Structures are given as C-alpha cells and as structure tokens.
Amino acid sequence: MIKIELTLAEQPFTLMLSGQKIVQIFHRNQAIAFDTPREHYYQFSHEQQLIGIDSSAVNEQGLALFVNHEFATQLTLPAVNHEAPKKGLLGLAALGFKLFKSAKVIKVALAGASVAGYAWLFSIEFALMLIACLVVHEYGHVRAMKYFGIKTKGIYLIPFVGGLAVSDDKITTRWQDVVISLMGPAFGLFTSVLGVVLYYATEMEIFAGVAVLSALLNLFNLLPILPLDGGHVLKSISFSMRSWVGLSVCLLGVLFGLWLSYTFGLMLLVFFLFIGALEIVFEWRGRHTSHLLPLDKYGQGFSAVMYALVVAGHVAVMMHFADSENAILSLPVKILSS
C-alpha cells in the first residue's frame, strides 16, 4: 500500500494506492466516494467540478489530472510513503487471533464447553435456550456480512462470554458496520417476538422465558459501549461527524460502562470495556488513513432511528412480562427499573 499526498485546486488530497489501483481518496482526513468508469481511471466531485485521475502511469511516477472530462495537467508524483507494519505485542495478539479463527475444530469444542458450562451453572434447559438465543443473534451478523459480500469464518460460542461472528474480510464503509452490528439484535428481536407468539399459542412458560432471555441479552448488546453492537453503531455515527466527536462520544461510553459495572457488579463488562478501549485507541490513531467511507447526515440519522427501533422492540417484549407472577419473567424489567 502506497500513500501519496497531493494538492489539487489548492486543496490537500491523499491517495492510497495498491500498484496502479487507487484504493481510497481522502480530503482533509475524510474519505470521499469516487467512481471507476474504466480501468485505471477514477473520478469524484469536488466544488461542483468533476475531477478525474488516470493512474495508468503510476509506475512511471506520473498521474494525469482531468477536470470535467478535459485533460488539465500531468502530475509528477512525490516520493511515496511506504508505511511499515506495526509490530509488538498487539501484532502478536492479532496473529494469535487469526490462528484461532482458522482452527475450525475449536468451534465444536467451544460450543460443547458453552452448553456444559451453562448447564452446570443453571440447568440444561436454560443452557439450550441461551445457546439458541446466541446462535440466532450471531447468525444475524453473518447474514449481514454475506449480504455485503464479506466472507465469514462462521460463529464461535465462547463459554461464559457469549458468541462471536468472525469475518474473513474487512468492512469498507461505516454503513456496513452499522447494518452488521444491528442485524444481530434485530434477528434476536425476531426470536423474542416468536417466543411471545408461541407462549400464547401453547401456554408453555418456556417460550416466554426464551422471549425474555433473548430481549435481555440483545438489549445488553445494544449498550453504547465498545466492543458491543451498540458501541459499534455509536462509533460509526460519531466518527462520521468528526474524529474528535467520535473520540469524545466513545470515551463517554467507556465512562458509562464503568458506572454500570460498578453499580451492578458486572465484572465481565470490565473485560469488554478493556477491549473497547483498545479499539478506540486504534480508531483514533488511524483516523487520518481510515479506509472506511463515513456516513452522510442522512445515514447518521437513519442509523440512529434503526438503533432506537431495535432497542424499543426489546424493551417492549420485556415490559410485556413486567407484571408476570413468574419471578424470572419479571426480573429483566426490575433490572431496568433499578
């Protein structure tokens, strides 16, 4: 990957190239959208003008610049900036995580350990309900990834932590991050609603338990805290506004998470907060070279509405059983009201 700094029409632009292919274009540290009408030719709109860049002569240190489809000038490329890969403990951790993802046999072992662990803590019925809710939630993430053409490694169940949908590719836009993050809780909402329907059809409380458990798990996942799904939605919206806005909002999410963990004694949440803090650091350090296309104002508002609707759906399911004589069914609402 090659990083090139240019000045076009007295405005600073940054090009990220891989060979003769332009991967991303930035203006004032913000990614901008561009089209590729033909090979090695890229165009985008800037100040009501159509800017075209021909990269076919990159190997000869040249770029051809076009304005409104007319040739403007031939640019001589400055010295390229080859970014060296960062090494250290974090790099080793990333390598270890990739090795973990490639070991498919671990899926079965983790699933078995999850069922056994939850059955030992509670009961086999509760364990099976919990695993079903987790699988449906993670399947929502997987379906969203496949919709965007992102290759996946599948679903991993992690004992006493939850589940993880692992991708084999990187996302390229903030919108993809929002949709993939929200599809897990959205599929979980389908599970909750189905549980309510089956409860009234059969009068079996186990289906009500599935509905309430699914709502509680997914509502927890929608907390605006990284690396939870709600935190990813919040990060995509806030970092699309400004980098400093994204940093400030995500740090507020960390403080909110610390307050929750202290108030309710949620030590597992502290573990999530540590991972989320690392993600915030990486996002901030890479803000100038991020390849993610930001959300426009319409996308920011639509993402916020989608998030609010999914949250409201899960709260409605929990409120539906608020007056239940069964202490388990009414417990989530008591937690919320506290």
What are the tens digits of pLDDT across the range 117-174? 777 877 787 788 888 888 899 899 999 998 888 888 888 777 777 777 888 778 888 8
Q: For 278-309, what is each residue's pLDDT tens digit?
A: 887 777 787 777 777 787 888 888 888 999 99
Dihedral angle, C-alpha 119, 124, 129, 135, nearest 10 °:
60
Give the Å distances, CA to CA, from 107 to 51, 103, 249: 49, 8, 35
Q: Which residues share a beta bridge with 93?
A: none
Q: Which of 193, 204, 71 is nearest to 136 (CA)?
A: 193
Amino acid, res. 10: E
**For position 236, what pLDDT does the model report?**
87
Amino acid at 44: F
pLDDT of residue 88: 57
Q: Which residues contact 258 (CB under 8 A, 6 or more apart)?
A: 270, 273
Average pLDDT over every residue of 245-256: 80
Contact yes or no for 155/163 (Cβ under 8 A): yes
Rounded distance between C-alpha atoms, residue 215 and residue 219, angstroms? 6
Residue 211 near residue 193 (C-beta atoms within 8 A): yes
Structure pTM? 0.64
Average pLDDT score over the chain: 79
DSSP conformational letter for 172? -
Q: Which spans in 148-266 are helix H?
A: 174-202, 205-221, 229-241, 243-264
Least reliable range by pLDDT among 1-5, 122-126, 255-259, 329-333: 329-333
